[in-house]
Structure 1
Amino acid sequence: MSTAAEEFNFKIDQFPEGEKSFIELPFTVSNDVERIEVSYHFPFGGGGSVIDIGVAQHGVMRGWSGAERGFITIEENRTTPGYDRGPLPGQWHVVLGIVKIGPDCKVDVTVRLVPRKGRWLAGELHSHSEHSDGGVTVYDAIHRARAARLDFLAITDHNTISQNTIRPDDPEMLVIPAMELTSFYGHTNFLGLNRPIVDWRCRSPRDVANKMAEASANGATIIINHPFQNSAGGRWQAGFDVTFDALEIWNGLWTPMNEQALAFWQVLLVSGRQVPVTGGSDFHLKNRRRHGHPANRLYVEGTAIADILEAVKLGRNVVASSPEDTMVKPVADITPPFGEILPQGATVALEFSGLAIGDEIRVITEKGLVDTIQSTAGRHLLERMLECQFIRFEVWHGAKPRLFTNPYYSE
Structure 2
Amino acid sequence: MSTQNRVITATIDHFPDGEKSFVEIPFEVGSEIERIEVSYHFPFGGGGSVIDLGVARNGRMRGWTGAERGHITLEEDRATPGYEPGPLAGAWHVVLGIVKIGPNCKVDVEIRLIGRQRRWLAGELHSHSEHSDGGVTVLDAIHRARASALDFLAITDHNTVTQNDVRPDDPGILVIPAMELTSYWGHTNFLGLPRPVADWRCRSPRDVAEKMAEARANGATIVINHPFQNSAGGRWQSGFDVAFDALEIWNGNWSVMNEQGLAFWQELLTSGRRVPATGGSDFHLKNRRRHGRPANRLCVEGMSVSDILAAVRGGRNVVAFAPDETMARPSSEEVPDFGSQIAAGREISVIFTGLSVGDEIRRVTEAGVVEVVPAGDGPTLRLDQRFAGRFVRYEVWHDKEPRLFTNPFYGE
Q: What residue number does 1:397 align with?
A: 398
Q: What is the rounded CA distance, in whole Å, between the counterparts of 1:333 and 1:188 in structure 2? A: 33
| Cα deviation, residue 172, structure 1 | 1.1
Quick check: 1:151 aligned with 2:127? no
**Matched residue pairs, number?**
411
| Cα deviation, residue 65, structure 1 | 0.8
Q: What is the rounded CA distance, in whole Å, between the counterparts of 1:348 and 1:261 in structure 2? A: 27
Unaligned runs of 5+ in 1: none
Q: What residue number does 1:188 align with?
A: 188
**Paired residue type of 2:383:** L
Q: What is the rounded CA distance, in whole Å, between the counterparts of 1:163 and 1:359 in structure 2? A: 39
Q: What is the rounded CA distance, in whole Å, between the counterparts of 1:200 and 1:65 in structure 2? A: 40
DSSP 3-state at the match of 2:257 = helix
DSSP 3-state at the match of 1:257 = helix
Please tell me the root mean square deviation across aligned C-alpha atoms, in Å: 0.9
Q: What is the rounded CA distance, in whole Å, between the counterparts of 1:229 and 1:295 in structure 2? A: 19
Quick check: 1:131 aligned with 2:138? no
Q: How does 1:258-337 map to 2 (within 5 A)?
A: 258-337=258-337
Off by >3 Å, runs of 4+ in structure 1: none
Q: Please say if residues 123 and 153 of structure 1, whose CA atoms lie closer than 8 Å, have aligned partners that are also in contact.
A: yes
CA 1:17–1:2: 2 relative to 1, 3 Å: farther
**Paired residue type of 2:46:** G
Q: What residue number does 1:353 align with?
A: 353
The alignment's TM-score, normalised by the length of structure 2, stands at 0.98
| Cα deviation, residue 262, structure 1 | 0.7
| Cα deviation, residue 375, structure 1 | 1.1
| Cα deviation, residue 333, structure 1 | 3.0
Q: What is the rounded CA distance, in whole Å, between the counterparts of 1:145 and 1:63 in structure 2? A: 28
**Paired residue type of 2:367:** K
Q: What is the rounded CA distance, in whole Å, between the counterparts of 2:333 and 2:146 in structure 1? A: 32
DSSP 3-state at the match of 2:199 = coil
Q: What is the rounded CA distance, in whole Å, between the counterparts of 2:111 and 2:246 in structure 1? A: 39
The alignment's TM-score, normalised by the length of structure 1, stands at 0.99
Q: What is the rounded CA distance, in whole Å, between the counterparts of 1:341 and 1:146 in structure 2? A: 34
CA 1:231–1:349: 2 relative to 1, 3 Å: same
Q: What is the rounded CA distance, in whole Å, between the counterparts of 2:50 and 2:148 in structure 1? A: 43
Q: How does 1:7-406 map to 2 (within 5 A)?
A: 7-376=7-376, 377-406=378-407
| Cα deviation, residue 272, structure 1 | 1.1
| Cα deviation, residue 60, structure 1 | 0.3
Q: Please say if residues 334 and 348 of structure 1, whose CA atoms lie closer than 8 Å, have aligned partners that are also in contact.
A: no
| Cα deviation, residue 2, structure 1 | 5.3
Q: Please say if residues 118 and 302 of structure 1, whose CA atoms lie closer than 8 Å, have aligned partners that are also in contact.
A: yes
**Paired residue type of 2:332:** A
| Cα deviation, residue 19, structure 1 | 1.1
Q: Please say if residues 2 and 118 of structure 2, whose CA atoms lie closer than 8 Å, have aligned partners that are also in contact.
A: no
Deviations 1:207-251 (A, max 9, x none): 000000000011111000000111110010111010001000000
Q: What is the rounded CA distance, in whole Å, between the counterparts of 2:19 and 2:325 in structure 1? A: 58
Q: What is the rounded CA distance, in whole Å, between the counterparts of 1:43 and 1:290 in structure 2? A: 49
DSSP 3-state at the match of 1:69 = coil
Q: Please say if residues 2 and 32 of structure 1, whose CA atoms lie closer than 8 Å, have aligned partners that are also in contact.
A: no
Unaligned runs of 5+ in 2: none
Q: What is the rounded CA distance, in whole Å, between the counterparts of 2:150 and 2:42 in structure 1? A: 38
Q: Please say if residues 151 and 173 of structure 2, whose CA atoms lie closer than 8 Å, have aligned partners that are also in contact.
A: yes
| Cα deviation, residue 357, structure 1 | 1.1
Q: What is the rounded CA distance, in whole Å, between the counterparts of 2:33 and 2:178 in structure 1? A: 26
Higher deviation after alignment, 254-263 or 327-336: 327-336
Deviations 1:365-402 (A, max 9, x none): 11111111011021101111111111100001111111
Q: What is the rounded CA distance, in whole Å, between the counterparts of 2:192 and 2:235 in structure 1? A: 24
CA 1:320–1:2: 2 relative to 1, 3 Å: closer
DSSP 3-state at the match of 2:216 = helix
Deviations 1:151-196 (A, max 9, x none): 1111100000011111111111111111000000000000111100
| Cα deviation, residue 334, structure 1 | 3.1
Deviations 1:3-23 (A, max 9, x none): 321111111111111111111
Q: What is the rounded CA distance, in whole Å, between the counterparts of 2:352 and 2:280 in structure 1? A: 22
Give the share of equivalent positions with the same residue, in percent.
69
DSSP 3-state at the match of 1:228 = coil
Q: What is the rounded CA distance, in whole Å, between the counterparts of 2:23 and 2:144 in structure 1? A: 44
